[in-house]
Chains A and B, each alone.
Chain A
Amino acid sequence: MYGEKAYALVKECANHENSLPPYNASLVQEVSNEIRTLVEENQEDAQTSTEETSDSGSVVSTIRLRHAAVKRNLRCLMAYHYNRLRLLRKMRWEFGSILPADIKSNLSPAEIEWFAKYSRSLASYMRSVGDDGLNLAVDLKPPKSLYIEVKCTVDYGRYELNDGTVLLLKKDSRHYLPRSECEELVRQGVFEHIL
């Protein structure tokens, strides 16, 4: 039936609300093909029906049905892609302008291009705020106190603080650090915030 593949595409989004599965190029291709076929069939019928003006009633309803299917397919196609861009946007805020390799490998070339553009626009917006720019990707939660206790989840190695102190971050080591200096590593999953 028309639209089934497109439905599957949308369903894929719904099943992965917070993660980005590999770009489903083959299904996108199939939906595109279905759209192309429908449009071509319609064009053919439209041509024939103008030639044989009698008994065009059934042709008209066929054309209408196909047209509705085209519209629905297009809508699904856009929903699928738009939804993925929204997720990608979220990741820009979480990971910064450089995506982890495992995520990047799930993207289509067009998505990679979009991400680079979005990233650039956002960075240039942030630079333009106030006199010296403002990094909006930090200070995500209201600050409670200056220092927080964190646990290191991996062997990270040496890490230099703003005041020049160098820490050795080993797996399972605990540190009491200025919140502003851990936020980035907490988000990357290097640190775990101990409450």
Chain B
Amino acid sequence: MDEAAIEELELSDAESFEEVQLTAAQVIEMMEEAWVNEKFAPEILPHKMEVVDCLLGQIAYMEENLQSLPSTDFKKSIHQLEVDRLRFLVSSYLRTRLEKIETYVTHILKQEQQRHESKEDLYLSKQELKFAKEIAEALKQNFDGLVSFYPGLPLEEWVSQPVQPNMHSFVFLKSKKDVNEVVIDDGSIATEGESDLVDFREGAQILIAYSSVAGLLKKGDVKLI
């Protein structure tokens, strides 16, 4: 895939996304990469809804065209299978995100709040954020109900120590370009300037703690495999 196109896309916001001319094949490739990244990253990643919407648009357009073809048509069945494959891709991507949102809901909402306050881009899409808030509320009500038999019981443990993703879990990655001096997080507390560094060549495959490469992944310099 055209490296420049990806970079441009990631720098841009949803509006200028329209202006970047991408082929459908490139969009599919981006969706696949986002899917695999999301599958293997321990935390939720910044959403790629512009890719999702674009691909869903392609799918809807194709399905509309297919309606006029008789169901016995050989071409129709091939197109249909491709549509099903792509819909699986998009659905699986969104499902993976929902699973993370549900598992880490308290933690994720707290982070989103911080991002909002520091005017950073949110990681969740608008729809995901709404969903997250709703299920957090439903969960809170359920827990509140549990301890309502005695007012004032301390639930702070649940609130102050929400379930969090293990950011140090090990991931497999492929470097999309040469990256120099990646700081290796090995669990030890290194004093400044003493951290171990590693260089990734383009195309290199590495097994490393996610925390060492989270930033590179979000920038699109590496992808998970």
Contact = CB atoms under 8 A, between A and B. Distances in A.
Interface stretch (A14-22, A71-79, A168-176): A71-79
Interface residues of B, number: 41
B225 interface: no
Interface string B146-181: 110110011101100000000000000000000000
Nearest to B87: A139
Interface residues of A, number: 42
A5 B17 CA distance: 57
Contact of B84 (A81, A118, A139): A139
Interface string A145-181: 1100000000000000001000000000000000110
A130 B95 CA distance: 14
Contact of A32 (B71, B95, B149, B155): B149
A110 B98 contact: no
Given A74-B155, A81-B146, A143-B84, A136 B134 contact: no
Interface string B133-153: 011001101110111011001
Majority SS at the chain B contact face: helix
A64 to B, nearest CB: 14
Interface of A: 32, 35-36, 39, 70-71, 74-75, 77-78, 81, 85, 89, 110-111, 113-114, 117-118, 121-122, 124-125, 128-132, 134-136, 138-143, 145-146, 163, 179-180
9 contacts: A35-B153, A71-B157, A85-B139, A113-B141, A117-B134, A122-B131, A136-B95, A143-B88, A146-B80
